[in-house]
Amino acid sequence: MKPFGFEPRTLVALGLAALIGLVGLWLDLENEGLVWDLLWNLTGEEEPAAQLLGAGQYLATLTRVQPQIAPDADIEHLPENPFGVNTFLQLEAIPEKRERQMQMIAEAGFGWVRQEFVWEDIEIHGPGDFMDRRNDLNNDGTLDEADAISAWEKYDQIVDLAEQYNVQIIARLSNSPAWTHPGNPNPHAPPDDVQAYVNFVTTVAERYRGRIQHYQIWNEPNLYPEWNQPISAPEYADMLCRAHDALKAVDPQVVVHSAAIGPTIDLSGRDLYDLLYLQQLYDAGIADCFDVLSAQGYGLFSGPTDRRQRPTLMNYGRHVWLRDIMVANGDAHKPIWISEAGWNPTPPRSEYPDLWGRETYGEVSMEQAARYVPLAYERALTEWPYIGVISYWFFKRHDDSERNQAWYWFRIVENDFSPTPLYTSFQETIQGGEWREWRDEDRAWTTRARERLPQVLVLGWGLLFGVGVVARGRAGSPRRALSRAATPADLRPSVGALAARAGDWAGGGLALA
């Protein structure tokens, strides 16, 4: 009896070969060998089970039409230093602490800060009113003109510090004062009259003309509560275009950044699917209203080497789908700058069992987050020639009152200015200088993969050779096979068959039955 048409010894040989292969694979994955490295560079996963699942998903990626990124396009606004970081300098009440932050940022080598110029913190009490009367400075129990100070004061210092430490500012202009949307329960809502925002943008640009060149118009307008419900792309397009024209009127050299589009596949009405939202913006006429498209670059649940691509997958490289839409709409010459990127090194569950939002941003160890820093920037610069500045989320908070929220743990520096391993990783990466060569296409992972192809082929051929040797043993040695076929009884049927076939040929009837 031959199970499945094979000799039993053949099945045993194949089973043994499969077992050897599985053991070899397990040893490789457990010891982070050649196969582990290949799967890590395809899936961004570090656990073997997740790598194997991710490998199947990656293969499925190859069956889909891939996004078009126009890699050979001439891209504008690509700075030399791509390292940026998000800051909350306005929250530091003591000027010396603001300077300490900027000093540490410069010492690490960051070239950019993405700093919000908070509208509700500047034009606080009404249109054209830039005085701050929120604090009883003279302790008389009354908030009045005697307590008024300039709302510009700390922002002026931030600009002064950036110039002093040779760091450029991406000024995010967002967060409406309450007087711009009375009766709206959403404190983050855009103004009822967009002209109020345009007036604020114009005032900021005039005040810092020649000192701030990059302005970002709002933040994540495809997500609630950053925008009203239902989300409206045409409404934001109107804001962007009017702000763009106002900024260019103040200074034609200003670089206008669109709001960072929040990654989401939501179609419920609360938020709006990011890819659909961007196309709706183009349909509303934004092509001439921005110089840089802004996106988010959170790694979430996989590492920076995750190369799986599908329109519903959230990972570090999601912006390639936004790029595809840009190319389709004639904007291949414009770059994408990443407004927020990072991996969240949350504390152990035993220490913070009730950490809010733990499942929202993904979880990694501090060691992983620090290790991902150079990998994330290297991949961006080698594989995505349209990427400009990547601003990591974030440098530090002013106190630790938000430690019970998962997003607090993204910090690079503790609130007491103690550097985390993330800070050290950035400092070593930037000051090491190797990143200056990362835009060289010879450093791309695809190039390095081709260089390792011979190793993979040798391994594969070795495995096939081993399987062949084992399988061949099912028939024994050639000598034994010849002795079994050499008896007259064995040969007689063959002679008879040949004689019959010879008769057919002699009669001219070549039967192929």
pLDDT in tens, 427-482: 999 999 999 999 876 666 555 555 555 555 555 555 555 555 555 554 454 444 44
Lowest mean pLDDT among 80-89, 145-154, 241-250: 145-154
Q: Higher-confidence residue: 507 or 113? A: 113
Task: Please check whether residues 93 and 53 belong to one and the same domain.
Answer: no
Residue 237 in contact with residue 285, Cβ under 8 Å? yes
Choose among 265, 294, 285: nearest CA to 329. Answer: 285
Q: pLDDT value at position 136?
A: 81
Beta carbons within 10 angstroms of residue 96's beta carbon? 8
φ/ψ of 337, rounded to 5, equals -105, 135
What pLDDT score does 390 carry? Answer: 98
pTM of the model: 0.84
Question: 129 and 17 in one domain?
Answer: no
| pLDDT for position 507 | 41
Q: Considering its fold, how many domains does the chain have in total?
A: 3
Rg (CA), the chain: 32
State percent of the chain over pLDDT 90.
74
Do β-strands 336-342 and 387-392 pair in parallel, antiparallel, or remain unpaired?
A: parallel
Look at residue 511 and tell me if it is in a domain: no
| Shared-domain flag, residues 314 and 424 | yes
pLDDT value of position 147: 85
Comparing 30-39, 231-240, 394-403, 452-461, the range with the smallest average pLDDT is 452-461
Mean pLDDT computed over 11-15: 68
pLDDT: which is higher, 397 or 27? 397
Quick check: 26 pLDDT over 70? no
Pairing mode, strands 131-132 and 149-150: antiparallel
Asked if residue 274 is part of any domain, the answer here is yes
Residue 334 forms part of a structural domain: yes
Regarding whether 354 and 272 lie in a shared domain, the answer is: yes
70 in any annotated domain: no
Residues 422 and 484 in one domain: no
Which candidate, 278, 294, 238, 237, places its Cα nearest to that of 77? Answer: 294
First to last CA, the chain: 27
How far from 385 is each of 43, 114, 295, 316, 411, CA to CA, in Å? Answer: 21, 21, 15, 15, 28
Amino acid at 417: F
Q: What is the pLDDT of residue 475?
A: 47
73 in a structural domain: no
Q: How confident is the model at residue 28 (pLDDT cuts 50, 70, 90)?
A: low
pLDDT(246) > 90: yes
Residues 247 and 151 in one domain: yes
263 pLDDT more than 70: yes
Q: Is the pLDDT of residue 501 over 90?
A: no
Percent of all residues in the chain with a pLDDT value above 70, rounded to a whole number:
81
Same domain (yes/no): 404, 494 = no
Mean pLDDT of 483-488: 46
Query: Whole domain around residue 487: which residue ranges?
Result: 479-506
Q: Are 435 and 492 members of one domain?
A: no
Helix (H) or strand (E) holding 25: helix 8-30
pLDDT at 138: 83
Please give the Cα distance from 275 to 124 (Å, whole number). Answer: 35
Task: Say whether both 333 and 208 belong to one domain.
Answer: yes
Give the pLDDT confidence score for residue 466 in this predicted structure. Answer: 58
